[in-house]
Structure 1
Amino acid sequence: MTGLGAVFRPQLPPERLRSIACLADDAGLEELWLWEDCFLEGGISTAAAALAWTRRLRVGVGLLPVPLRNVAVAAMEAATLHRLFPGRAMLGVGHGVQDWMEQVGARAESPLTLLREHLGVLRALLRGERVTTKDGRYVRLDDVALDWPPPPETAVPVFAGATGPRTLRLSGEAADGTILTAVTPPDGVRRARRLIDEGRHAAGRTDAHRVVVYLLTATGPGAEARLRAELAAEGRSGVPDLGAAGDAAAVAKAVRALAGAGADTVILQPTADEPDPEGFIRFTAEKVRPLVP
């Protein structure tokens, strides 16, 4: 079955999160994804709150920028969430927006090298391993292990946000899943899957690799105009088969197209000017979900 979820965009103030997370939980939505965009809201703090307010909802952070996150701290935070809320927390990491990383003095000369080192160490720490990496270019630990790693029976997948070919291959090699942005049409998902599989093959990996894709979505009055305006602002107005606007049938069709191209989970991303965020959650859970196999 194709997974389905929605994004709580950090353009909304943090105090709106509780009502939306509880509504998603009550409506039976499977997943709610949060962003750590500069300089809006923290990913771990919002995820912890959303998980505490809900009973069954899975909460993803897509994603934490690794230049801002010491890997030991990231592992401590992730392990804590997984012990408090087994099976319900999902963590993604990525390069971060380079302009923002420059703005805060954290930009790496080689973002790919940093992400590779971070992924390897983060996954090892979450497996309960003791890690020493004194020769890393960016990630250097000396005899570090978590005192409270996730329980061995708890699956702790680490996702990587990826767009370019090298990062997609790295995600296949070194991550447990990949997050694709909302500017990824079905053809882009197929291409990403091929590159991810190249990385998996090179690393000899045969385990499952989950691909999560955001789908820019607008429904209700002015849906088409809102979608087109946001795509134009992203410089993507000429890309075919990008985003979805209209009723549940139109959105479900776009979800199925992404799933057919290789997405395991599709996360509906409202436009930044969505006039009814709570209504968007109900629409996703009650109208679109029944139309997605």
Structure 2
Amino acid sequence: MTTLGAVFRPQLPPERLRAIARLADETGLEELWLWEDCFREAGISAAAAALAWTERVHVGVGLLPVPLRNVALTAMEAATLHRMFPGRATLAVGHGVQDWMGQVGARAASPLTLLREHLLALRALLGGERVTTDGRYVKLDDVALDWPPDTGTNVQVLTGATGPRTLRLSGEAADGTVLTAGTPPEGVRDARRLIDEGREAAARTDPHEVVVYLLAATGADAPARLRAELAAEGFGSVPELGVAGDADAVAKAVQRLADAGADTVILQPTADEPDPEGFVRFVARDVRPLVA
């Protein structure tokens, strides 16, 4: 079955998160995803709050920019969430927006090298290993977590990826991949192929989850809002991107992504969504029953 969720976009102020997280929990929404966008809201603090306010909804963070974070800190924060809320959190890491990284003086000369080193060290630390490494960016000297995630917890580290090299790296070194809302069904197929190339090169046979954001709008002005956001993001001419309409239209768009290889589809409201709470209800109560 395709997993379905929704995004709490950081264009909303942080104080709106509590009501929306609780609503997601009450309506049976499977997953609520948060973003760490510069310079809006932080991913770990928002995820911890959302998890504490709820009982069952799964909370994802997609994604944490690795240039901003020492890998030991990422591991400590991830392990803390997994121990306090076992089985309910998913964290994705990635390059981050390079212009934003430049603004804070953290832009890496080789983002791919940094991401590779971060992924390998992070997965090892969360697996309870003691790590010593002297990479170009990641340097650890006899580091191990005192409180790694419990052995029975399914801890996955996902990475956000768009370009071919990062997609291959995700297959090689991550447990799953997050694809942006700029990925049409054919793009998901291409991404799966590149991920599988990385998995084959690393001789990996474990499951690899693919999460795809789907820009969605509903209501009387939905087509206009969708067109405006796609145009603002430079995607106005990309076919089969985003969906505007009722629950049936949205469910069919979700199914197209699932048929292309998405395991999880996260519905992303437009930045100007007039009723974020209503969007969560729409996803959980109207779209979910129509998705296989």
On whether the aligned pair clears a TM of 0.5, the verdict is yes
CA distance in 2, matches of 1:60, 1:70: 20
Match of 1:194? 193
SS of the residue 1:200 aligns to: helix
Deviation at 1:49, TM superposition (A): 0.1
Q: What are the residue-to-residue correspondences of 1:70-85 with 2, within 5 Å? A: 70-85=70-85
Deviation at 1:91, TM superposition (A): 0.2
TM-score, reference length from structure 1: 0.99
Match of 1:216? 215
Output the aligned Cα RMSD. Answer: 0.3
- Name stretches of at least 5 consecutive residues in structure 1 with no aligned partner: none
Q: What are the residue-to-residue correspondences of 1:1-293 with 2, within 5 Å? A: 1-134=1-134, 136-293=135-292
What is the number of equivalent residue pairs in this alignment? Answer: 292
Query: Any idea what the Cα deviations from partners look like across 1:29-53, whole Å, max 9, x if unmatched?
Result: 0000000000000000000000000
CA distance in 1, matches of 2:249, 2:89: 30
Query: Any idea what the Cα deviations from partners look like across 1:71-130, whole Å, max 9, x if unmatched?
Result: 000000000000000000100000000000000000000000000000000000000000
CA distance in 2, matches of 1:22, 1:8: 12
Deviation at 1:221, TM superposition (A): 2.0
SS of the residue 2:211 aligns to: strand
CA distance in 1, matches of 2:234, 2:28: 35
CA distance in 1, matches of 2:138, 2:160: 19
CA distance in 1, matches of 2:124, 2:154: 13
- Name stretches of at least 5 consecutive residues in structure 2 with no aligned partner: none
Deviation at 1:159, TM superposition (A): 0.3
CA distance in 1, matches of 2:117, 2:287: 39
Letter in 1 for 2:89: A
Letter in 1 for 2:24: A
CA distance in 2, matches of 1:104, 1:53: 32
Letter in 2 for 1:23: L
TM-score, reference length from structure 2: 1.00
SS of the residue 1:38 aligns to: coil
Letter in 1 for 2:6: A
Instruction: List structure 1 runs of 4+ shifted beyond 4 angstroms.
Output: none
Give the fraction of aligned pairs with identical amino acids, expressed as a percent.
81
CA distance in 1, matches of 2:29, 2:49: 17
CA distance in 2, matches of 1:169, 1:230: 29
CA distance in 2, matches of 1:266, 1:90: 14
